[in-house]
Amino acid sequence: MEQLPDPVVDPAAVLWSARIEELAERPLLVLLHGVGADEGDLFGMSPQLPLHPVIASLRAPTRYGPGWSWYDLGTPGDPNSEGVDAAARAVLAWLDALPVQPPSIGILGFSQGAAVAAQAMRHAPARFDHAVLLSGYVTSGDVEGDEELARLRPPVFWGRGTADDVIPRVAVQHTAQWLPDHVTLDARIYEGLGHSVSQQELTDIVGFLRDRRR
């Protein structure tokens, strides 16, 4: 069976909080939205996030309803890993193509975007200084970079709500078991929160990101 080419992140669709040239001296924070949303979704949080990093909000490659998707959903909470791998490689390829490389990179994803963020970190552990995973999960199966990730143990914020009825329990259980063995985990559970980001969680995210400057 012929392998399909990897999806491509459209550089013209990326929303930036500052000029790309500023990456020479400022860290980069990459935002990956959830399925059915677009690059403007998480970018709306930018005014509340720390000012130090340059923020880049990416658009997923594939049309999905009114928005975009990073990969074929497949089995809820356990999609075909090939699609998630391809999306992660697309994010890494976009990073490689930047005309200016930042001193450090953080990655923040929501839901489907969180799965891609985690997978990108697994594929290239040394590329990312930290990650923020919101209402998402780690895909099952092994990735070549998992051992290196467990050695580096980068800081990872994983936030989820007790009323989230989108991410299956099996995916949450797998992620809860997998993350502590591979990263320095800051796990937060928000009582009564559904598949969304609360003001309290946003406050905690800001605190986590500010700590990365220390």
Q: What is the pLDDT of residue 1?
A: 42
pTM, full prediction: 0.95
Q: Does 200 score more than 80 pLDDT?
A: yes
* Residue 155 within any structural domain of the chain: yes
* Residue 4 within any structural domain of the chain: no
* Residue 6 within any structural domain of the chain: no
* Residue 3 within any structural domain of the chain: no
Reported as a single tens digit per residue, the pLDDT across 18-37 is: 999 999 999 999 999 999 99
Reported as a single tens digit per residue, the pLDDT across 53-104 is: 999 999 999 999 999 999 988 766 676 788 999 999 999 999 999 999 999 9
Q: Does 3 score more than 70 pLDDT?
A: no
Contacts of 54 (CB under 8 A, 6+ apart): 16, 17, 18, 20, 22, 23, 26, 27, 28, 29, 102
Beta bridge partners of 15: 57
CB atoms within 10 A of CB 85: 20
CATH code for the domain of 123: 3.40.50.1820
Amino acid identity, position 173:
Q
Closest to 84 in 3D by CA, of 11, 147, 7, 12:
7
* Residue 2 within any structural domain of the chain: no
Closest to 178 in 3D by CA, of 204, 141, 144:
141
Reported as a pLDDT band with limits 50, 70 and 90, residue 2 is very low
Domain count, the chain: 1
* Residue 176 within any structural domain of the chain: yes
* Poorest-pLDDT segment among 3-7, 152-156, 166-170: 3-7
Q: Does 183 score more than 80 pLDDT?
A: yes
Containing domain of residue 21, as a range? 11-211
